[in-house]
Amino acid sequence: MYQEERMLQIVEYLQLHKRISVDDICEIFNVSRDTARRDLVKLEEHQKIIRTRGGALLPSLHDSVRNYNERLLTLSAEKQAIGQLAANMIRDKDRIILDSSTTVQACAEKLNVQECSVITNSINQADVLSGKEGVSIHLLGGRLQKEHRYVYGSSVIATLSHYFVDKAFIGVGGIAPHGLSVYHEEDGMLMHQMMKQADQVIVLADHTKFGKKFPYRFADLSEVNTVITDRLPDAEMLEIFQHHDIEVIVPS
């Protein structure tokens, strides 16, 4: 089978199964891992797939999540309250990471310090912070996800690995006993790297995120220091947080 035929069938497989691994390609097409990787590289060059660690998924998966501007229209009072509590945790001369979630944008909007250094992959966060004096902004460079207004990819992860910060503020799709999860693998990989670079990891999650499990688990609860939310989770989840020594902050 020619490479072009395999590539076409790989895309067809992805349309049915949403993701594919290098091992899947080797088994389905009886090819070596090197050949499978070359197929994925070429598909990525043609912008047909998004390569992930050990495989690939379709860019169109992003369509299943409302785009950033649509989510901003439903930025709730609960998210605003969470953002204010998060902003209150930022001190003068802190070095922080802000991810690209709308809840974290609420934190950026309410940030009020004399001096602060911010690393982000979000165009919106950078735009919000550009109007605040004393805030130094490092906008990471990478591949632009237009609908959700952030940059991503291996170059972003590699750049992040060179920075150390005081705090990382992370939004999630779901937070459950098994850990933190999001819909897209490439998002989760980037967010996990953000967490690894911080002395303190602060998760921003409204109460609807508790108990939810999205397809890609990107971090364990043991990697989280603080959860800021709009109301306390149920007794079982609260006990799990206590077991992991996670501080839970809610509006008073």
**222 half-sphere exposure, CB direction, 13 A CA radius:** 0
Q: Which domains does the chain have, with CATH numbers?
A: 3-60 (1.10.10.10), 69-249 (3.40.50.10470)
Measure the CA–CA gap between 234 and 176, rounded to whole angstroms. Answer: 11
- For 21-61, what is each residue's pLDDT tens digit? 999 999 999 999 999 999 999 998 877 888 888 899 876 44
pTM of the predicted model as reported, rounded to 2 decimal places: 0.72
SS3 122: strand
Report which of residues 191 and 67 the model is more confident about. 191
Amino acid letter, 50 = I
DSSP letter at 47? T
Tokens found for residue 152: 């991503």
Structure-derived torsion over alpha carbons of residues 70, 135, 197, 161, reported in degrees to the nearest 10: 90
Residue-level pLDDT at 130? 93
- pLDDT exceeds 80 at position 11: yes
Q: Are 45 and 167 in contact (CB under 8 A)?
A: no
Residue-level pLDDT at 81? 93
Q: Name which of 124, 123, 129 is nearest 141 in CA terms.
A: 123
Measure the CA–CA gap between 196 and 83, rounded to whole angstroms. Answer: 22
Say how far residue 87 (Cα) sits from the centre of its chain: 19
Tokens found for residue 190: 């980037």
SS3 121: coil
Measure the CA–CA gap between 39 and 49, rounded to whole angstroms. Answer: 11
Measure the CA–CA gap between 7 and 102, rounded to whole angstroms. Answer: 36
Cα 34 to Cα 9, 24, 70, 74, 206, distances in angstroms: 18, 13, 41, 45, 44
**10 half-sphere exposure, CB direction, 13 A CA radius:** 35
